[in-house]
Amino acid sequence: EYLTKKQVTLYIGDVRDRDLLNKIFMSHQIDAVMHFAALKSVGESNNIPLTYYSNNITGTLNLLESMQRYNVKKLIFSSSATVYTAGNKMPNTESDKTGIAKNPYGTSKFIMETILKDISKSDPSFSIISLRYFNPTGAHPSGMIGENPNGIPNNLIPYVAKVAQNTLPVLHIYGNDYPTKDGTGVRDYIHVMDLALGHVKALDYIFLNKINYEVFNLGTGRGYSVLDVVYLFEKVSQKKISYVFCDKREGDVAVSWACPQLANEKLKWQATKDLEEMLKDVWHWQTKNPNGY
């Protein structure tokens, strides 16, 4: 609200709460829904798969039932690159094989995509876009909004930032014998501001075009290894990052990066911020908010 100078209506609750969803839809004239609500840690999903399936899939079903009940038929869905089958040739395109995920988180996203596809087939009045995120990072350039995980972060870059800040003593790198240039996993990192713009472009597209169900990758099209990230963060922060190698984490793939051409062409969207700018914004957030929010 401070940044936009606009008041935001906020409900705090659980997407599995049908009564709350119905109350929200009943109380507002809603034209379209952006569905972000989900648990999202690959590693954690291996330990508590039922929690992930309950939250992610049941929550999505409840939301869709409310949308249908109140005749809201436009949806932008927050999907994930984890839906792609491990071993696909890089970069991943939207037509690549999906559905053999290496972890329950990816499986939950694939199931949700399947549900959305089935609904759009059965009811052509639905217009649905699934946006397959690669690895969002960065922070708002103001330093006022950033990622603030509790405890040891599940994502690499917040973990690196906390080690640089001396909040955590050492970075654990999961695996150094992947078939990559330095043995560490490779990912496509995308600035959260570019990701946000991708949603605006998707919303424009869904209102300006008659569509049923479409899928788009949101990524930069370039992969960086874990060590690439560590060394560049050292440059940005002027801090030494202590790290140790550990066993691979169950559910992780060796490499993953996007072909963003379809989003470039149809959504008129392109990622503009490089990894160094992402890390600078993360470090700005971290130094401005050493204890989080």
* Among 92, 86, 93, CA closest to 42: 86
Q: What is the DSSP string of 133-195?
A: E-EEE---TTSSS----SSS-SSHHHHHHHHHTTSSS-EEEE-S-SSSSSSS-EE-EEEHHHH
Contact 151, 235 (CB under 8 A): no
Contact 274, 219 (CB under 8 A): no
Domains and CATH numbers, the chain: 18-288 (3.40.50.720)
Helix (H, G, I), strand (E, B) or coil at 75: strand
Contact 126, 269 (CB under 8 A): no
Contact 148, 140 (CB under 8 A): no
CA–CA gap between residue 106 and residue 98 (Å, rounded): 10
**Residue type, position 39, single letter:** L
Q: From the candidates 84, 105, 133, 224, which is the catalytic residue?
A: 105
Active site residue 105: yes
Instruction: Tell me the pLDDT of the chain (293 aa) as tens digits.
Output: 999 999 999 999 999 999 999 999 999 999 999 999 999 999 899 999 999 999 999 999 999 999 999 999 999 999 999 999 988 999 999 999 999 999 999 999 999 999 999 999 999 999 999 999 999 999 999 999 999 998 889 999 999 999 999 999 999 999 999 999 999 999 999 999 999 999 999 999 999 999 999 999 999 999 999 999 999 999 999 999 999 999 999 889 999 999 999 999 999 999 999 999 999 999 999 999 999 88
Contact 141, 3 (CB under 8 A): no
DSSP category for residue 54: I
